[in-house]
Amino acid sequence: SSSEREGHSSTQSSHRLLAYSDALISIIATVMILPVAHTKIKDDEELKESLQQLLTTKIAVYLMTFLIVTVAWAAHIRLFQVIERIDDCLALLNLACMMLITFLPYTFSLMATFPENTLGVLLFCTCVIVIGLIQAIIVVYGFSRPFLLNDQIQISENQGFYKRHILKVILRVPLFCLVAIVFSFIFFPLSYVLLAVVIFFPYISQSLKWCRGKAIGQQDETPDSMLFYSYRPNEPLSKERVEAFSDGVYAIVATLLILDICEDNVPDPGEVQRRFGGSLIEALQGFGPEFLAYFGSFATVGLLWFVHHSLFLHVTRTSRLMGLLNTFSLAFVGGLPLAYELTHEFPPNSRNELEAIQISCVIIFFAGVFQLAIWVAALFDERETLHPYVRYGGRDHAFMLAKLAVYPCVALATFFVTCALSRFSAAVFHLAQIGVPVAFLLLRLLVRLGLALLRRLLGPAAAP
């Protein structure tokens, strides 16, 4: 073809295409929190009940969408770890793939709203089938122009083996979906089971293989085939893309509340004239809690980003397991604006306000704990994954641990204090929010003081 004759001149680095895809996917993964956040809770209802009745479905949709979109994102990373360079044709195919991925949340919320109706399953499966076919076309196209491939595959003599292996893994998904479509007409609930299987199939088959290996003591596949599409927890994951995706999620989440504020909280000039006698300041005072919630959630998300940034600065190589823990942390981060919005929806000192504050604490706690888990997972294989400074015994090890521990500790402490002193819950919560940025500013000093104190306490005991 004409494009092949020109060879490498039309070839491009895939860096920016991947950054753009990461931005799109991170937006789509996060925005399903909006329908949850915009659910109006009436003042007379108890938060617990209204949560159970109104929000459970929507929160489930948000979490499942987040999961499915991140699965699609992981597949996208695998694909473009094989195909490292692109040309115009691949860029256009990728855009078509992105368009379908951004449509997935809608089909998913149809499935959640009408669980008995086949249409949601049909739409979802159709999207997934087309995405799978486009990815297969990308693989075939890539292997027909080997200069687009990963260098390791390019020099490998097993190109045919790689191609078959990758196509087999990719085409399994559309096949399962086709079966799910057929079953949706025969016996409906089975199609949901099939869809769940298709998402987790590689992980299930991998764990089965691992168990069988442990039981029989059988050898694994050839190491050559392990590099791509292996679905092991230590399969390498592009660190750049994990960072880009996380940045996208943190950025969207940090700005979600200001979008609402800009749209809803500019008072109407006529109403200001009528109700507040033309005094804009008085009219805005009613929005005070909204602004407080905005600054609080921006600061929390910003500081969680800061911790994430500090951690990944010292990570030299990310594994799939770290990516999974990161996804869990991000799913909780995505719930933060909702939690902050709840904290100001209720009258001061009400039971609802207390519960909203405690929910915020729980969300912050889990977002922070999963960040800590990334660090723990990295420490298990520290020679491969961490910079020497932050390994056991490294001079920034304690400092890094302190950074990661600030949010879980503060959230936990705030939670228990609000349980004990429920009357002052709002004050305690706001105090904690002001305290955290100060703690981060002084953290290096505090850690040094803490270490010196520990050494003085433990030193005499160890000396004799």
Q: Which of residues 24-63 bind a copy of itself (CB under 8 A)?
A: 24, 27-28, 31-32, 34-35, 38
- Tell me the closest approach of the beta carbon of residue 225 to a copy of itself, in angstroms: 33
Rounded distance between C-alpha atoms, residue 115 and residue 74, angstroms = 27
State which of residues 140, 175, 197, 266 lies at the interface with a copy of itself (CB under 8 A): 266
133, 206, 402 from 448: Cα distances, Å: 56, 45, 11
- Tell me the closest approach of the beta carbon of residue 175 to a copy of itself, in angstroms: 26
Sole window of 244-252, 346-354, 363-371, 377-385 interacting with a copy of itself (rule: CB under 8 A): 244-252
**Of 168-197, which residues contact a copy of itself (CB under 8 A)?**
none
CB atoms near residue 151 (< 10 Å) = 9
Interaction between residue 269 and a copy of itself (CB under 8 A): yes
**Of 422-451, which residues contact a copy of itself (CB under 8 A)?**
437, 440-441, 443-445, 448
State which of residues 245, 312, 365, 415 lies at the interface with a copy of itself (CB under 8 A): 312
Q: Which residues of 370-390 are buried (b: 16+ CB within 10 A; e: fewer)?
A: bbbbbbebbeeebeebbeeeb
CA angle 191, 195, 198 (to 5 degrees): 135
Chain-centre distance of CA 86, in angstroms?
Answer: 26
Sole window of 43-51, 171-179, 295-303, 414-422 interacting with a copy of itself (rule: CB under 8 A): 295-303
- Tell me the closest approach of the beta carbon of residue 226 to a copy of itself, in angstroms: 30
**Of 212-231, which residues contact a copy of itself (CB under 8 A)?**
none
CB atoms near residue 445 (< 10 Å) = 9
- Tell me the closest approach of the beta carbon of residue 430 to a copy of itself, in angstroms: 16
Nearer to a copy of itself among residue 49 and residue 88 (C-beta):
88
State which of residues 130, 299, 405, 412 lies at the interface with a copy of itself (CB under 8 A): 299
State which of residues 42, 395, 420, 464 lies at the interface with a copy of itself (CB under 8 A): 395
Alpha helices in 114-187 (DSSP H): 118-144, 151-155, 159-186
Rounded distance between C-alpha atoms, residue 272 and residue 455, angstroms = 62
Nearer to a copy of itself among residue 13 and residue 52 (C-beta):
13
Token pair 């195909």: residue: 83
- Determine the angle formed by the axes of helices 15-31 and 56-82, rounding to 10 degrees: 170
Interaction between residue 396 and a copy of itself (CB under 8 A): yes
Sole window of 20-28, 69-77, 362-370, 415-423 interacting with a copy of itself (rule: CB under 8 A): 20-28
Interaction between residue 252 and a copy of itself (CB under 8 A): yes
How many residues form the binding site for a copy of itself (CB under 8 A)? 81
- Tell me the closest approach of the beta carbon of residue 90 to a copy of itself, in angstroms: 11
- Tell me the closest approach of the beta carbon of residue 169 to a copy of itself, in angstroms: 27
Helix (H, G, I), strand (E, B) or coil at 86: strand
Cβ–Cβ < 8 Å for 29, 61: no
Interaction between residue 306 and a copy of itself (CB under 8 A): yes
Helix (H, G, I), strand (E, B) or coil at 319: strand
Rounded distance between C-alpha atoms, residue 400 and residue 314, angstroms = 9
Interaction between residue 258 and a copy of itself (CB under 8 A): yes
State which of residues 179, 261, 405, 409 lies at the interface with a copy of itself (CB under 8 A): 261
- Tell me the closest approach of the beta carbon of residue 306 to a copy of itself, in angstroms: 6
Going residue by residue from 346 to 385, which x/- string records binding to a copy of itself, judged by CB under 8 A? ----------------------------------------
Sole window of 21-29, 139-147, 415-423, 424-432 interacting with a copy of itself (rule: CB under 8 A): 21-29
Q: Give the DSSP letter of residue 316.
A: S
Burial (Cβ within 10 Å: 0-12, 13-18, ≥19) of residue 393: exposed
Interaction between residue 277 and a copy of itself (CB under 8 A): no
Interaction between residue 280 and a copy of itself (CB under 8 A): yes
In SS3 terms, 192-205 reads as HHHHHHHHHHHHHH
Interaction between residue 259 and a copy of itself (CB under 8 A): yes
Interaction between residue 453 and a copy of itself (CB under 8 A): no
State which of residues 251, 362, 409, 417 lies at the interface with a copy of itself (CB under 8 A): 251
**Of 73-132, which residues contact a copy of itself (CB under 8 A)?**
88-89, 91-92, 95, 98-99, 102-103, 105-106, 109-110, 113-114, 117, 119-120
Burial (Cβ within 10 Å: 0-12, 13-18, ≥19) of residue 292: middle
State which of residues 210, 389, 416, 424 lies at the interface with a copy of itself (CB under 8 A): 389
Helix (H, G, I), strand (E, B) or coil at 83: strand
Q: Give the DSSP letter of residue 464.
A: -
Phi and psi at residue 234, in whole multiples of 5°?
-100, 15
Nearer to a copy of itself among residue 86 and residue 354 (C-beta):
86
Q: Per-residue DSSP letters for 322-361?
A: HHHHHHHHHHHHHHHHHHHHHHTTS-TT-HHHHHHHHHHH
